[in-house]
Amino acid sequence: MTFEKHALLESSGAIRKSPGEWVVHVPRTWWSWSGPLGGLLNALAAQAGADLVDAAAVPQATHTQFLRNPWDAPISLIATVERAGRTAEFVTVRGTQGEDTIFISTIVFAHRTGAAGQQRITAPSVPAPEDCPEIHFPPELVPFGQQFELRQACGAFPMTGSSTAEMGAWLRMRPEVAADSLVAIVAMDAMPPGLYPTLSEPLAIVSTELSIHLHGDLVRNPIDDFVLAVQRNITSGDGWCVDEASLWDRAGGLVASSRQLRRILDGGK
C-alpha cells in the first residue's frame, strides 16, 4: 500500500527519503493551536509505516503519543516493523527533531478479506450536508481549518457557552479529495476539542495521545463525499480532558472512531 502521490502528502510537503523514512517541514497552513496538527502527523506516520508492509495490508488502527511540542523545523519520521504476521503487521514510527523525540506512533496494518462486517451502533440523525450551514474557523487560531469545508450538522457551535460538550459537522478536504485511510485519520482530529462549545473564549487544549480505529478498507473503498465528524467530551478536570469522536458516511456507516487525551493549558474545567 502506498500513497506517494497523495494530495495530502503534497500539501504537507512531506518527502520520502527512503522506504519507511520521511521528512516534513509542516507548513503553517497545517498548524493547529501551537504546532502541526496531530492528525496530520498521525497520517504521515501511517504512510511511513505503509512503505514497509505488504502492499495488500491496510491501516486498521493507529496510536500516537505526542511527547513534546514540535518547533517550526523539519520533522524526521523513521518506521520500524515490529512484527509481520499472516493477518496483521505492526509498525512503530518515531518523529524526531534533532535529538528530541516529538511523537511515537504505532500502526496496525490488516490483511482484510473483504468479508462483510456488522455494525452495532447507529449514526446520529442529521440533515444532509447540502442543508447544513458552512462554518469557518478563525485562521489565526486554527490555520489548518482552511484545508476543509465544514458544515455544522449537530450539537453546539464552538465558544457559545453551551451546556452541550458535543458538536458534529460534515467535512471534506479542499480541494476535494476522497476520504481514504490517510484523510480519515486526519479528519478524526479536524474538529475542535469537545469542550469548545462550553467555552466563551479560546482556550489552549492540546493533544497528548490519540488512538484511531478504521472500520473498513478505505484504501480500496475511499469515500468520495462528505463525511460526518462528531466530537464529544466525556470527562474533564484537573487540567485534563478526554474526547471521543466518530466518523460516518452519508449512508450511516461507521468509518472511523477515536479517543483522545488532551491537556488544558490555561486553567481548565
pLDDT of 2-59, one tens digit each? 555 788 999 999 999 999 999 999 999 999 978 999 999 999 999 999 999 999 999 9
pLDDT tens digits for range 211-259: 999 998 999 999 999 999 999 999 999 999 999 999 999 999 999 999 9
Contact between residue 229 and residue 189 where contact means Cβ atoms under 8 Å apart? no
pTM over 0.85? The answer is yes
Please tell me the number of Cα atoms within 13 Å of 104 on its side-chain side. Answer: 6
Q: How far apart are CA 98 and CA 23, in angstroms?
A: 12
Domain over 7-112+129-264 is classified CATH 3.50.40.10: no
Phi/psi class of residue 47: alpha, beta or left (left: φ > 0; alpha: ψ in -120 to 50)?
alpha
**Backbone Cα Rg of the chain:** 18
- What are φ and ψ of residue 160, in 5° steps? -110, 5
Average pLDDT of the chain, as a whole number = 94
Q: How far apart are CA 213 and CA 208, in angstroms?
A: 17
The pLDDT assigned to 258 comes to 98
DSSP string, 6-62: -HHHHHHT-EEEETTEEEE---GGGB-SSSB-HHHHHHHHHHHHHTTS-TT-EEEEE
- What are φ and ψ of residue 219, in 5° steps? -70, -50
Q: Which three cell numbers stand for residue 268?
A: 481548565
Task: Estimate the share of the chain in helix, then strand, then coil, as percent rounded to the nearest 5.
Answer: 15, 40, 45
